[in-house]
């Protein structure tokens, strides 16, 4: 019985510290949620607020570009492998990876444009 209580207390403390750590991470600029960015974008007035949004979009763009590069590399590896470069594999795998690479790159460009807009807003708000 004592070991069950001790285990329960240990799990409860571990859960609490994990939640506290997660809350601290989300309060950082790069760890905003979509909901937080939407709320901040609607109310941003200061250069710091616009810069925070720009940093978020830049971080998202970098993440998407990295993911795009991964899919591009996967497509090249599938093409180079004689087992996976048949017509059937080309349609099902290589084209899928290429589609994802292009799609992710396009989304990254959209995020970069949003970051630039908020960077400009931050500069204008400073004046």
Tell me the residue range of the domain where 52 lies: 32-126
The 10s digit of each residue's pLDDT in 22-75 is 344 344 556 788 899 888 888 888 999 999 999 999 999 999 999 999 999 999
Q: Do 49 and 12 have their domain in common?
A: no
Query: Is residue 13 located within the same domain as residue 64?
Result: no
Residue 3: pLDDT over 60: no
Is a pLDDT exceeding 70 seen at residue 117? yes
The pLDDT assigned to 74 comes to 92
What is the distance, to the nearest Å, from the Cα of residue 49 to the centroid of all Cα atoms in its chain? 19
Q: Would you state the structure tokens that stand for residue 30, as one six-digit string?
A: 């790069």
Q: In this predicted structure, which of 3-12, 26-35, 48-57, 96-105 has the lowest mean pLDDT?
A: 3-12
**Count of domains for the chain:** 2
């Amino acid at each position: 019985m004592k070991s069950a209580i001790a285990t329960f207390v240990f799990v409860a403390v571990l859960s609490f510290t994990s939640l506290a750590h997660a809350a601290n991470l989300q309060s950082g600029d790069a760890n905003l949620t979509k909901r937080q960015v939407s709320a901040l974008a609607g109310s941003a007035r200061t250069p710091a607020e616009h810069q925070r949004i720009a940093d978020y979009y830049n971080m998202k763009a970098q993440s998407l570009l990295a993911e795009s590069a991964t899919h591009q590399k996967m497509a090249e590896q599938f093409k180079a492998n004689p087992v996976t470069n048949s017509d059937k594999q080309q349609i099902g795998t290589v084209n899928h990876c290429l589609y994802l690479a292009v799609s992710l790159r396009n989304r990254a460009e959209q995020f970069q444009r949003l970051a630039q807009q908020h960077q400009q807003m931050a500069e204008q708000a400073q004046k």
